[in-house]
Amino acid sequence: MKLNFTKKRTFKIGVLFAAAIIASSLGSAYAAVKLEPINAFLNRSVSFVLKGALWQPKDPSGKSLAAISYNGSTYLPVRALSEALKVPIDYDAADQKIYIGGKLGEKTPIFAAPMEIDNIYAILTKDPKETKVKDKQFQQVLKIDQYGDVIFTVDRKYKRLVLDAAVISPGEYDVEYSLYNVGDDAGSTASTVLETHAVSPEDDVKQLIFNVEGLEKIKIHVQSHNLNPYIYARIMDTSYFDNGDPAAGAASSK
């Protein structure tokens, strides 16, 4: 698991991350009992180009970091690199484990994420009369009585959007929740639907799971398929972003 510039080979990001762990700037990781001394060198002659632009890795205080040369290979600081690529990273000191791509099971509540909404037809509310949906009381909901868009800046931090949605009375029609990629890199594909899930008035609060892995900015468009102007759709505050189902991860590792 090396990043060897002399061979000029192209490595996938996952391999690069794994190699970079040795040079991680995670601080307390150096207290691990299995550390052993090596003879390595800070290689300040190596420069980096990230997505076509010159990039300088830095520590949390803003100090420039250099690559490390060891045994014919070059290693990079994993935290600085993961932040530059907008991939979440976590360190578990108790287990001496580094999580690249986020921990399974950790959730970011949907309304805690950077969000833009259509303020004409989509409205956030905490009114107890409006946050009671399907006989369940929520703290906050996004109500969309006609149609609407909600845009989230996710910065490639998550794999899934788990949306709790419903159609309330007097809604009579199925409502579609559609996912779009509206990041700067979307180009002409920004108008292409990536996924659509439907919720009917007869459903209870329904959980919709969207794949958002690798996306920087997404849009959820909510509207009836037959363009009915009154849909009475709701998105609940129990919705969240995460990096996968820990139960599924445990099953796949067996």
> For 122-163, how does the pLDDT look when each residue is reduced to its tens digit (9 = 90+)?
999 999 999 999 999 999 999 999 999 999 999 888 999 999
Token pair 């990629």 in the structure block, residue: 181
pLDDT at residue 52 greater than cutoff 50 = yes
- Helices (DSSP H) in 30-167: which residue ranges? 78-84
Q: What is the pLDDT of residues 199-240, one digit of tens each?
A: 999 999 999 999 999 899 999 999 998 876 799 999 999 999
Both 91 and 131 in one domain: the answer is: no
Tell me the C-alpha distance between 252 and 254, whole Å.
6
Token pair 């949306």 in the structure block, residue: 163
Range of the structural domain that residue 175 is part of: 107-243
Give the pLDDT of residue 23: 42
Tell me the C-alpha distance between 41 and 167, whole Å.
61
The model's pTM: 0.70
More confident residue, 251 or 122: 122
- 251 within a domain of the structure (yes/no): no
Cα 51 to the center of its chain, rounded Å: 19
Tell me the C-alpha distance between 83 and 56, whole Å.
12
Q: Is 90 exposed, middle or buried (0-12, 13-18, 19+ CB in 10 A)?
A: middle
Domain end (from 49, 69, 100):
100
- Domain total in the chain: 2
Write out the E strands in 147-216.
148-153, 160-167, 175-181, 193-199, 206-211
Both 68 and 118 in one domain: the answer is: no
Type of residue at 134: K
Both 120 and 225 in one domain: the answer is: yes
